[in-house]
Copies of this chain bind each other. A is one copy, B any other.
């Protein structure tokens, strides 16, 4: 089986690639698993060395739109042998709000072009579209319900959320028409992401844990009572793989599936950090508010009742402390403060 991951050098893309390459085989839509023979990682950046050293990995480096538009200049993003595409590449929420045209190109036009390329193959590859809880947005004219259910009406309050919702609709219709097999899955805010901050308005939800554990000061630009729905990197990857593996019957409708999340607050996240790494860690959190980020984050829902996901065996983590300890186990080199035992 040949698999393509757009955004394949990004944090989630790399983790997904490593997970799939380690399992070595993959089942699609309830069919028996077959060996993974090739994995194409499409990204502006080069994937890390361990992936580049895997003989199954093919790296396609460049802008996704450019690669799709000028495929005669080089290798195609998707080919007739592509069985599965994870479309993770996207400009992040903060970027899209600051630069509308960038978001329309990176999230909207690129998704349309990728779906078009898959359709042109006439081989009906599966496309897993990574949407986002940012399709839900609270506004004074239309408050978001306290708890998001599987059938809650999305009312995006950011260009990123609009573009993700449009991507869902395109994926659904290309699937309904039989041009592809389409699966829409809405990712929650992921924390704790390793590495460095990115342009996402949600970036601080990882930074406020990751940086203090490394002995570095980090901003939390929203008040401690700010509610948030979070998922760990591991559960997020599990959700993406499940989207490709589930049978049509188990997966259900073309409407995007909300992945599970735990509901917490930035204050409770800091308290969990203190239980794990003491006040030396929480002293490194800078609570100076940032209105631009607050205005985006406050529109996102903070409680998700993912009945459909539970039916697929996708469950939220136990609590945020467990997520912090998972991050510490997985990233021992990034930890500079002493850690308290569990």
Q: List the interface of chain A (C-beta within 8 A of B).
A: 100, 139, 141-142, 151-157, 159, 162, 165-166, 169-170, 172-173, 176-177, 252-255
Contacts and interface: CB of A to CB of B under 8 A. Distances in A.
Given A162-B172, A162-B173, A169-B165, A155 B254 contact: yes
Nearest to A151: B153
User: Could you say how many copies of this chain the assembly holds?
Assistant: 2
A251 to B, nearest CB: 9
A153 B156 contact: no
29 contacts: A100-B177, A139-B254, A141-B252, A141-B253, A141-B254, A142-B252, A142-B253, A142-B254, A142-B255, A151-B153, A152-B153, A153-B154, A153-B255, A155-B253, A155-B254, A155-B255, A156-B169, A156-B172, A156-B173, A159-B173, A159-B176, A159-B177, A162-B169, A162-B172, A162-B173, A165-B169, A166-B169, A166-B170, A169-B169
A255 B100 CA distance: 20
A176 B142 CA distance: 13
A238 to B, nearest CB: 22
A145 B221 CA distance: 41
Contacts of A165: 169
Contacts of A159: 173, 176-177
Contacts of A252: 141-142
A252 B140 CA distance: 9
A166 B171 CA distance: 12
A153 B100 CA distance: 26
A162 B255 CA distance: 12
A170 to B, nearest CB: 7
Contacts of A155: 253-255
A175 B169 CA distance: 20
Contacts of A152: 153
